[in-house]
């Protein structure tokens, strides 16, 4: 379910450049984040460099991205995938299809939009409701189905990495992004917060039963603000996370939203 136009490498270089973290990364991921930050900083000043810096990650296919530095004794394969909490059909995500339909309607209707002014400039603002329903059921289904599909290829990911880097330790991460509109939310003990899949027992148990994955990175959005959670998938850490799950009375928060476009 691709949503951005660039490849996974470019997106990761953006997402992992000084991210807002909902965790304390271990030594391995601290190094990866630091290398990405230093690379991006050098690229910001590339016009003043004699030669371009070597990117710490490369685009691949199975898995999508590989962190590989000559000075490191390990490589990290990173497989990226996305999900949302709208209903899936044979045509894909309902959210994506409804957003496309809303955008087309905005273009068709904007000539009849009301003329407004802001700072002395006239513009037309057109708003369209995105007629899509989000639910806990579809959240689970989309996440679990997408995860399971990728988990079936873990052996192939690791074999490819072992073939390319026979003398290095092989590590594998899943980068999971929740692309639901403005995020998913849960109400628990009177407090509403961004829904973190790593606080759902079913998801943690699924990770515990998956062999061959070393880390999981989860990107969520809280009212347009992205956060990334990086967790080791070893049994001890996942068992610890199980103690911090939502209560049995937690409720999924559904909502509707609109798309607004300004035409100057």
Q: What is the pLDDT of residues 84-123, one digit of tens each?
A: 998 887 777 888 888 888 888 888 877 776 555 566 667 7
Percent of the chain with pLDDT over 70: 94
- Checking if the pLDDT of 3 tops 60, the result is no
Tell me, yes or no, whether 57 lies in a domain: yes
Q: Please name the residues in contact with 141: beta carbons below 8 A apart, sequence gap of 6 or more.
A: 88
Helix, strand, coil % in the chain, rounded to nearest 5: 35, 30, 35
**Contact criterion met (CB below 8 Å) for 185 and 90:** no
Distance, in Å, from the CA atom of 65 to the CA atom of 30, rounded to the nearest integer, reads 17
Q: Say how many C-beta atoms besides its own lie within 10 A of residue 19's C-beta.
A: 19
- Residue 33 forms part of a structural domain: yes
Residue with tokens 């059921």: 137
DSSP state of 199: G
pLDDT at 141: 95
End-to-end CA distance of the chain: 32
Q: Structurally, how many domains does the chain consist of?
A: 1
Query: In the beta sheet, which residues pair with residue 226?
Result: 221
Sheet strands side by side (includes 57-59): 57-59, 65-67, 74-83, 169-178, 215-222, 225-232
The verdict on residue 2 lying in a domain is no
Give Rg (Cα) of the chain. Answer: 21
As given in the structure block, the two tokens for residue 18 are: 């000084």
Question: What are the pLDDT digits (tens) for 116-162?
Answer: 556 666 777 788 888 888 999 999 999 999 999 999 999 999 999 99
Two structure tokens written together for 211: 């062999």
Mean pLDDT of 28-37: 96
> Contacts for 37-41 with beta carbons within 8 Å, 24 or more apart?
39/13, 40/13
Within-domain flag for 1: no
What percentage of the chain carries pLDDT values higher than 90? 70
Establish if 104 belongs to a structural domain. Answer: yes
pLDDT of residue 173: 98
Peptide bond into 63 cis (omega under 30): yes
Residue 110's pLDDT is 75
Q: How far apart are CA 224 and CA 242, in angstroms?
A: 27
Phi, psi of 90 (to 5 degrees): -65, -15
Largest CA distance in the chain: 65
Task: Name the 3-class secondary structure at 89.
Answer: strand
> Mean pLDDT across the stretch 210-239?
96
pLDDT tens string 181-208 = 999 999 999 999 999 999 999 999 999 9
3 in a structural domain: no
Task: Provide the pLDDT confidence category of residue 5 given band limits of 50, 70 and 90.
Answer: very low
Rounded to two decimals, the pTM is: 0.88
Residue 227 has pLDDT above 50, yes or no: yes
**Assigned domain for 159 exists:** yes
Chain Cα centroid distance, residue 162: 26
Q: Which helix (H) or strand (E) holds 222?
A: strand 215-222
Q: Which residue would you say has higher pLDDT here, 78 or 95? A: 78
Query: CA 160 to CA 155: how far, in whole Å?
Result: 9
Least-confidence region, from 45-49, 104-108, 253-257:
104-108
Domain ranges, residue 122? 8-263
Instruction: Quote the pLDDT of residue 139.
Output: 95
């Amino acid at each position: 379910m691709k949503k951005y136009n660039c490849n996974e490498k470019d997106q990761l270089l953006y997402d992992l450049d000084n991210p807002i973290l909902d965790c304390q990364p271990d030594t391995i991921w601290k190094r990866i984040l630091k290398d990405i930050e230093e690379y991006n900083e050098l690229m910001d000043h590339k016009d003043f460099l004699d030669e371009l810096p070597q990117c710490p990650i490369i685009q691949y296919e199975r898995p999508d991205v590989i962190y590989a530095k000559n000075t490191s004794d390990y490589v990290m394969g990173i497989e990226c995938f996305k999900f949302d909490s709208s209903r899936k059909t044979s045509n894909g995500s309902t959210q994506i299809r409804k957003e496309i339909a809303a955008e087309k309607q905005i273009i068709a209707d904007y000539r009849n939009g009301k003329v407004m002014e802001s700072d002395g400039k006239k513009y037309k603002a057109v708003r369209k409701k995105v007629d899509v329903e989000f639910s806990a059921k579809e959240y689970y289904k989309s996440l679990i189905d997408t995860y399971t599909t990728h988990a079936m290829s873990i052996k192939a990911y690791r074999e490819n990495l072992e073939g390319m880097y026979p003398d290095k330790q092989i590590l594998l991460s899943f980068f999971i992004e929740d692309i639901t509109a403005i995020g998913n939310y849960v109400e628990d003990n009177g407090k509403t917060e961004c829904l973190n899949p790593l606080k759902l027992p079913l998801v943690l148990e699924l990770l515990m039963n998956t062999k061959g994955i070393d880390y999981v990175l989860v990107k969520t959005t809280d009212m347009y603000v992205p956060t990334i959670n990086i967790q080791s998938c070893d049994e001890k850490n996942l068992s610890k996370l199980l103690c911090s799950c939502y209560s049995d009375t937690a409720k999924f928060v559904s909502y509707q939203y609109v798309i607004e476009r300004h035409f100057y």
